[in-house]
């Protein structure tokens, strides 16, 4: 594990530095099995998961997401938590956060190997592509914490991109202003230097893309014009939205949809950010800007994450650096999904549970419901359509360690892929075992088989020349490599090109 933020210090686990900030006045760790069932009709609690980093995957181990949206995206939302994620009111601990982030990505995707789970989010990704992490540093004491970002970056660096890895310089962590990348939030600007890039849209030479203008209509004939950050429109190929969990005095809550206010200019005007003569600007602002990102800027966002280690259940949005609004909620959690409306719906439910516990009324953010409706249709805010998985990351890690100690077998991505006539079918095993490998066509018919053979521990490869069992060349198309061992099977797709 590396510290990609360039910060200095120490943590409870002796790995990466903890966030420095101000202490809070009230204390509530928000842990335990609260009665979510009244709110979440499809909730499932997973005390532990067998989907480990090197664990063997059988059909019963895979919790495949259930797509319910028209575009096929899953409405599954995962909440992971770890009792040791925070210490006091100022420290986020890297080790537990790593467990939460990687347990969440495996549960969300249904892919049991962490590296493959991350890669599954980015169709067609190569080592030449760039990935942006849009974070929220607008409240200096409750930012997207560096520890969450570090764990996501490590996941991106795990990906096998046809034998290469994503260069650290191809990862851009960004927000609106360079001033937000400061000691208070735990970041430092790095623009053009080696390693992961950290900077704001206002950095010299970046700015907003004035060639892309988007107009929002408001009541009484008013309009506002907005331009996307050049980071979003020109500098990245994929994006991860890494938000925070806070209430908001105007919008109701600050989660993923509102995080994209920081992706455009001219969002502070009254029509966008206030209620009154121009109506509730949030019912148009957040949904429209997120629609623009989906429909007119390439739909680059592939994952929505909410840093729920520390939060604000009241008192938000909070002062910008160097002002102070200390957290008043230790939730020790992370929320993750592919549907931004579903993620924000769950995030709001969690904030409301904390508010009710503290004698406050529930929030009803208008922009989240509006985002679910035409003409935006960005996702679902219907609880009955959201499958919530809640995972204790500490227990999940124990199961992962047990699987690794027992001798896991991992089928690696074929290389090269696409295969121009031939490729290597690769796998890694921790202990000696028997392995059978076969290749099936898109219809499921087995076209090539290597019988069950014992292998010693280590990394291995079987060369496939693109021919069937009888030695005849197979046609170009999609095929599936399957590895069978110890009563379980794993599959990888390979494209054959003639």
Which of 354, 371, 400 is where one domain is finished?
Answer: 400
Same domain, 333 and 418: no
CA distance 168 to 197: 8
Same domain, 288 and 177: yes
Same domain, 394 and 443: no
pLDDT the model gives residue 400: 55
Q: SS3 for 402?
A: helix
CB-based contacts of 283, cutoff 8 Å, min separation 6: 366, 367, 370
Residue 454 lies in a domain: yes
CA distance 120 to 109: 8
Q: Look at phi and psi of residue 443 and say left if phi exceeds 0, alpha if psi is from -120 to 50, else beta.
A: alpha
pTM for this entry: 0.73
> Taking a C-beta distance cutoff of 8 angstroms, is the pair 376, 366 a contact?
no
Residue 1 lies in a domain: no
CATH number for the domain harbouring residue 429: 2.60.40.4070
> Taking a C-beta distance cutoff of 8 angstroms, is the pair 363, 352 a contact?
yes
Same domain, 241 and 380: yes
Same domain, 291 and 425: no
At residue 325's C-alpha, the angle toward residues 242 and 39, to 5°, is 55
Q: Which helix (H) or strand (E) holds 273?
A: helix 270-273
For β-strands 171-175 and 197-200, DSSP reports them as: parallel
Residue position matching structure tokens 């008043």 = 328
Total count of domains within the chain: 2
pLDDT the model gives residue 3: 56
Same domain, 414 and 388: no
Give CA separation, 175 vs 91, 194, 211, in Å.
Answer: 22, 19, 20
Residue 344 lies in a domain: yes
Same domain, 378 and 472: no
Domain that holds residue 473: 408-496
pLDDT the model gives residue 150: 96
Q: SS3 for 399?
A: helix
Residue 28 lies in a domain: no
Q: Identify the segments of the chain with pLDDT beneath 70.
A: 1-71, 397-408, 430
Residue position matching structure tokens 């206002």 = 202
pLDDT the model gives residue 485: 86
> Taking a C-beta distance cutoff of 8 angstroms, is the pair 366, 372 a contact?
no
Same domain, 388 and 436: no
Residue 31 lies in a domain: no
CA distance 351 to 345: 10
CA distance 425 to 417: 10
Same domain, 489 and 387: no
Residue 278 lies in a domain: yes
| 20 DSSP 8-state letter | P
Same domain, 260 and 302: yes
Dmax (CA) of the chain: 76
CA distance 456 to 428: 10
Can you give the length of the chain in residues? 498
| 400 DSSP 8-state letter | H
Cβ atoms within 10 A of the Cβ of 302, count?
17
Which of 380, 400, 420 is where one domain is finished?
Answer: 400
Which of 400, 427, 459 is where one domain is finished?
Answer: 400
> Taking a C-beta distance cutoff of 8 angstroms, is the pair 395, 48 a contact?
yes
CA distance 144 to 150: 11
Same domain, 286 and 423: no
CA distance 57 to 289: 40
pLDDT the model gives residue 4: 60
Same domain, 443 and 348: no
CATH number for the domain harbouring residue 79: 3.40.50.11440
């Amino acid at each position: 594990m590396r510290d990609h933020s360039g910060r200095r210090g120490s943590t409870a686990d002796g790995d990466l530095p903890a966030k420095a900030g101000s202490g809070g006045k009230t204390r509530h760790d928000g842990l335990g099995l609260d009665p979510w069932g009244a709110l979440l009709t499809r909730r499932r609690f997973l005390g532990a998961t067998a989907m480990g980093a090197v664990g063997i995957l059988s059909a019963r181990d895979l919790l495949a997401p259930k797509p319910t949206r028209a575009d096929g995206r899953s409405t599954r939302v995962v909440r992971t938590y770890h009792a040791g994620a925070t210490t006091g009111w100022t420290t986020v601990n890297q080790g537990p956060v790593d467990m939460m982030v990687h347990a969440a990505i495996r549960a969300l995707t249904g892919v049991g190997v962490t590296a493959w789970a991350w890669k599954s989010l980015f169709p067609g990704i190569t080592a030449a592509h760039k990935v942006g992490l849009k974070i929220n540093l607008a409240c200096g004491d409750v930012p997207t914490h560096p520890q969450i970002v570090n764990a996501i970056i490590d996941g991106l660096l795990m990906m096998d991109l046809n034998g290469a890895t994503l260069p650290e310089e191809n990862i851009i962590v960004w927000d609106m202003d360079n001033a937000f990348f400061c000691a208070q939030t735990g970041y430092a600007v790095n623009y053009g230097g080696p390693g992961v890039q950290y900077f704001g849209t206002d950095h010299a030479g970046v700015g907003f893309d004035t060639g892309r203008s988007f107009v929002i209509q408001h009541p009484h004939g008013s309009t506002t014009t907005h331009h996307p950050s050049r980071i979003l429109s020109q500098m990245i190929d994929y994006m991860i939205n890494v938000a925070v969990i806070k209430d908001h005095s105007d919008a109701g809550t600050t989660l993923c949809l509102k995080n994209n206010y920081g992706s455009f200019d001219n969002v502070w005007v009254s029509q966008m950010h206030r209620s009154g003569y121009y109506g509730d600007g949030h019912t148009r602002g957040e949904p429209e800007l997120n629609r623009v990102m989906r429909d007119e800027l390439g739909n680059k966002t592939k994952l929505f994450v909410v840093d729920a280690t520390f939060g604000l259940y009241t008192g938000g949005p909070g002062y910008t650096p160097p002002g102070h609004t200390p957290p008043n909620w230790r939730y020790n959690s992370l929320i993750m999904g592919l549907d931004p409306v579903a993620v924000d719906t769950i995030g709001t439910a969690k904030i409301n549970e904390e508010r009710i516990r503290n004698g406050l009324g529930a929030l009803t953010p208008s922009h989240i419901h509006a985002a679910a409706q035409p003409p935006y249709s960005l996702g679902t805010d219907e609880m009955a359509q959201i499958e919530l998985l809640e995972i204790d990351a500490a227990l999940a890690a124990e199961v992962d360690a047990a699987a690794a100690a027992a001798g896991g077998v991992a089928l690696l991505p074929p290389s090269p892929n696409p295969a121009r006539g031939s490729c290597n079918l690769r796998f890694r095993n921790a202990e000696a075992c028997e392995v059978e490998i076969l290749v099936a066509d898109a219809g499921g018919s087995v076209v090539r088989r290597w019988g069950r053979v014992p292998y010693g521990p280590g990394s291995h490869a079987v060369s496939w020349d693109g021919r069937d069992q009888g030695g005849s060349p197979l046609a170009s198309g999609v095929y599936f490599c399957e590895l069978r061992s110890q009563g379980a099977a794993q599959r990888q797709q390979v494209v054959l090109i003639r």
